[in-house]
Copies of this chain bind each other. A is one copy, B any other.
Amino acid sequence: MRSIKEKYLALSGGIGGAKLALGLSRVLDGSALTIIANTGDDFEHLGLYISPDVDTLLYTLAGINNKESGWGRADETWNFFATARELGMESWFQLGDKDIALHLYRTNRLRQGISLSAVVQELASKLGIALRLVPMSDAPVRTMVDTEIGVLAFQEYFVKHRCEPKVKGIRFAGSETAQPSGGFRAMLEHPALCATIICPSNPLLSIQPILSLPGLEKKLSNSKAPVIVVSPLVRGQALKGPTAKMMQELGLGTGVPAIARLYQGIAQGIVIDSSDAAYSEQLEALGLQVLATNIVMETLADKIRLAEELVQFAREFSGQ
């Protein structure tokens, strides 16, 4: 464990981000690590407040995630869901029996007037998670995907339509006024902040909602701590999800250089897969320091090793 005086901030979406977050949680002391979760995917469904990226982080960090599907809980059962379908309730979003308990807990606490940050912290504690897991904002920001078949709320695009409709644009409803959560702001301004890590999450759907918060990009630029991106692409493809497809549809280019361009002016470092090492010079020309290593995180050992290398890379920026 490193000194608890060093602080690390990691911005994360769901699956890929949660894998790195788990690695970081094994490398850094809990008090040194704050994970900021994207809440642009959050939605209300069957009267339940559902926060998919927060939940993937909670379940992954608690070691109770479903490793096969990448979402939801391990050893889940589906009797609620089957019954709900029999009753004719909307059934395009799968809700496991155990998962429902978490949703109901959060929904009830929010109705009691507790902030989302406080509820997430309660859930993290109850699940035995030592680090700070903080939603990007306590106010609603909702990712809306403009597609060839119309504007879709994120979950409709992602789950109901399985990312199939061609994307024409993305916007984050509410992001003009939503403030970064208190825990997020405090860490951004923390004098001991060593680095802000952008996890290997979809830049358009998972990271952009966070960066869209008012003043956020400026706060990142003003921070003395470097911003380090971990590439969500390996050999031009996302390991999971529609990142490459969406970037192409939006004319944002392909591969790691396209990712780097998205973060130009924000990031100072980038971690790419060894298989993409040939792009290093091109990335350096964009003003980025590059670490090429194996970024595919299959085992826990992979996650820990990548986290170790990443922390070392970050410390080099601050000359430690």
Contacts and interface: CB of A to CB of B under 8 A. Distances in A.
Contacts of A86: 101, 126
A82 B73 CA distance: 14
A97 B102 CA distance: 13
Contact of A101 (B77, B87, B102, B105): B87
A101 B84 contact: yes
Given A47-B104, A84-B105, 13 more contacts: A47-B107, A47-B111, A76-B79, A77-B77, A79-B96, A82-B98, A83-B98, A83-B101, A86-B126, A87-B101, A87-B102, A97-B97, A97-B100
Contact of A80 (B87, B101, B126): B101
Contacts of A77: 77, 79, 97
Contacts of A79: 76-77, 79, 96-98
B87 A123 contact: yes
A307 B89 CA distance: 35
Count chain B CB atoms within 10 A of each CB in A46, A47, A76, A107 and give the residue with the most: A47
A97 B80 contact: yes
B123 A104 contact: no
Count chain B CB atoms within 10 A of each CB in A88, A104, A123 and give the residue with the most: A104
A268 B82 CA distance: 46
Contact of A102 (B83, B123, B126): B83
A97 B105 CA distance: 15
A108 interface: yes
Contact of A126 (B81, B82, B87, B96): B87
Count chain B CB atoms within 10 A of each CB in A87, A88, A101, A126 and give the residue with the most: A101
A126 B79 CA distance: 17
B126 A100 contact: no
A79 B97 CA distance: 6
Contacts of A104: 46-48, 84, 89
A100 B102 contact: no
Nearest to A84: B101
A151 B13 CA distance: 49
A108 B105 CA distance: 16
Interface in A97-144: 97-98, 100-102, 104-105, 107-108, 111, 123, 126
Given A77-B79, A98-B79, A47 B108 contact: yes
28 contacts: A46-B104, A47-B104, A47-B107, A47-B108, A47-B111, A48-B104, A77-B77, A77-B79, A77-B97, A79-B79, A80-B80, A80-B98, A80-B100, A82-B98, A83-B97, A83-B98, A83-B100, A83-B101, A84-B101, A84-B104, A87-B101, A87-B126, A89-B101, A89-B104, A89-B105, A97-B97, A97-B100, A100-B100
Count chain B CB atoms within 10 A of each CB in A48, A77, A86, A98 and give the residue with the most: A98
Contacts of A98: 79-80, 82-83
A130 to B, nearest CB: 17
